[in-house]
A and B are shown apart, each in its own frame.
Chain A
Amino acid sequence: MFKCDTDEDARLGALYRYEILDSEPEESFDRITRLAKNVLQMPMVVVSLVDRDRQWFKSRQGVTATETPRAISFCTHTIRDNVPLIVRDAHADPRFAHSPLVTGEPHIRYYIGIPLRSRDGHNIGALCAMDTNVRDLNSGQVKMLEDLARLVVDEMELRLLASIDSLTGVLSRRSFLDAAERDLQQSIRSGSDLSCAVIDLDHFKSINDTYGHGAGDTVLQQVIAACREQLRSSDYIGRTGGEEFTAIFRDTSITAAVEAAERLRSAIESTVVELDGRKIRISASIGVAQRTNPDWTLSDLMQAADAAMYLAKSLGRNRTVPSPDCEQGGLDRENETALARTELTAPPFDTAVDIYDDRNRDRAQSHLDYLEGARTCFHHAKHGMNEKMKALFADIALDYLRLAHEKAAVMPVRRTEQGKTKGMTLPPLL
């Protein structure tokens, strides 16, 4: 059953999923168009993909242009139906007689276009053969073009399948990095904002250990499905590690990206996975960064978000933290310090005395891990610890010490594995 494309947004969504627009020429497609050109003795054959306002040629034989405006294209008519469009003589067809592609270069007279139909039923472009003279193709020749159009879609599907993580349906690591790199370059050229969020599920290993890897897979699927509902059409997400995902927010400042990431975190926290009558909940720690330094590579951007994610872990998990590396457009230092203070005085710390109780030693440990974690996270792997981060860390550390001494007269202790206790020392300041 064929589906006509009354919904242009859905059609464009299907096209964009292939991530093929503006990609390099590929021999796989060129061999198909060359075969059509040779067997049919057609001077021009193209694989045309119909974007919102243009048609772009993935492969072209006998055509010099790489794209044309959609408004003057033949293919925009081809994709309206699910059968080949044949224009025997463009001069005699009122739809095309005055097209600049007919009255000027490349002087199209004969046109045949076979719709390229995605697996989900959208016509995303066409395999087209054109001549400068009036022609007629027999039915066998038309069917051969249809065979070739199916091979074009097979090639596109193959690339799509390789780009998708089969468990969660989001982009695979390689495809995500390719897409993010393209977007980074685009943001550099246009001067637009680009932000990313590294999302790491908290204690995911314990789900695998407790319920088995099958349960872990189900949790990943449901959590990511919940996240995808929160993403705008311009955002995308990739599986960059076992339980680590990275989202790219195009044209988005860090302030807006933190809000978007917080929606993802909230969606994850609200997800309840039911398995064999048991309910499994999970949370995520998210770090967010914006490309603020023009020299930053994609790796720098992701490292900044990754460091912020580790800071979120150190602050107690299940939270969204912006990168201290983001100098512009994000939180200023005063707000960053306020954020850190808020974290320090959050409920677990209000019961600081409790944390010295041996029954809560895990919490005590996490508080003591906090400073070390913060110091590690603020120490950017490539750029070291800049003045701003040093100052922020010093503020946090001083707050920690002050509160620790106000709320507890004794230094925290922990039991070693052998059952003895020993004093814990705070990590040194810088």
Chain B
Amino acid sequence: MTAVPDNSSILTQIRCDLSSLPITPPLRANVRQHHEHLEQLAGRLKTLGVDDKTINEHVIEIFEQYKSELLKSLESLAGASTDWTEQEKRDV
């Protein structure tokens, strides 16, 4: 039977995942806040008697959805930059 990693190692992994992303300061603040809130949730679920495996599943699920949306946001902002470059060529 595979050992279940504790919540702190999962949260550390999440922090590493996010640290490599090239994000703007406002987004970074949101990422940091979301991470803190996930940590609080994990701790709270533990005090409510939820087992580590279930907590990890919930935390990872919520994180993966958040990360997916974050990546979409980054793509959107990068797309806008490309458009601006094209626009700048049109200066009349």
Contacts and interface: CB of A to CB of B under 8 A. Distances in A.
B66 A147 contact: no
Interface residues of A, number: 41
B45 A144 contact: yes
B66 A35 contact: no
B73 A162 contact: yes
A205 B91 contact: yes
Contacts of B50: 39
Interface string A226-257: 00000000000001111110000000000000
Interface stretch (B1-9, B13-21, B23-31): B23-31
Nearest to B33: A154
Nearest to A28: B65
A32 B38 CA distance: 11
A147 B30 CA distance: 15
Interface stretch (A61-69, A127-135, A165-173, A400-408): A165-173
A172 B80 contact: yes
A405 B86 CA distance: 40
A158 B92 contact: no
B91 A39 contact: no
A27 B88 CA distance: 38
Contact of A155 (B26, B61, B66, B87): B66
Given A28-B66, A35-B62, A310-B92, A243 B87 contact: yes
Interface residues of B, number: 38
B73 A154 contact: no
Contacts of B80: 165, 172-174, 239
B37 A162 contact: no
Interface string B45-56: 101101000000
B38 to A, nearest CB: 7
A355 B20 CA distance: 59
B47 A35 contact: no
A143 B87 contact: no
B62 A32 contact: yes
Interface string A138-173: 001101100110110011011101100110000011
Contact of A241 (B65, B70, B72, B87): B87
Given A159-B73, A165-B80, A143 B44 contact: yes
B26 A154 contact: no
A147 B27 CA distance: 20
Contacts of B86: 241
Interface string A22-38: 00000110011001000
Contacts of B62: 28, 31-32, 35, 151
Nearest to B82: A173
A202 B30 CA distance: 36
Given A32-B62, A155-B66, A162-B73, A241 B30 contact: no
A202 B90 CA distance: 11
Nearest to B73: A162
Q: B interface, by DSSP: helix, strand, loop or mixed?
A: helix
A244 B31 CA distance: 30
A174 B81 CA distance: 11
Contacts of A31: 58, 61-62, 65
B83 A158 contact: no
Given A147-B41, A166-B26, A140 B91 contact: no
A159 B70 CA distance: 8
Contacts of A154: 30, 33-34, 37, 66
Contacts of B61: 31, 35
A140 B47 contact: yes
Contacts of A28: 62, 65-66, 68-69
A172 B37 contact: no
A89 interface: no
B48 A140 contact: yes
Contact of B45 (A39, A174, A202, A239): A39
A53 B55 CA distance: 38
Contacts of A141: 48
Contact of A157 (B30, B44, B65, B85): B30
A152 B47 CA distance: 21
Contacts of B45: 39, 144
A161 B92 contact: no
Contact of A35 (B30, B58, B77, B88): B58
A158 B30 contact: yes
A31 B68 CA distance: 13
Nearest to B31: A158
Contacts of B84: 241-242
B22 interface: no
A158 B34 contact: yes
Interface of B: 24, 26-27, 30, 33-34, 37-38, 40-41, 44-45, 47-48, 50, 58, 61-62, 65-66, 68-70, 72-73, 76-77, 79-80, 83-88, 90-92
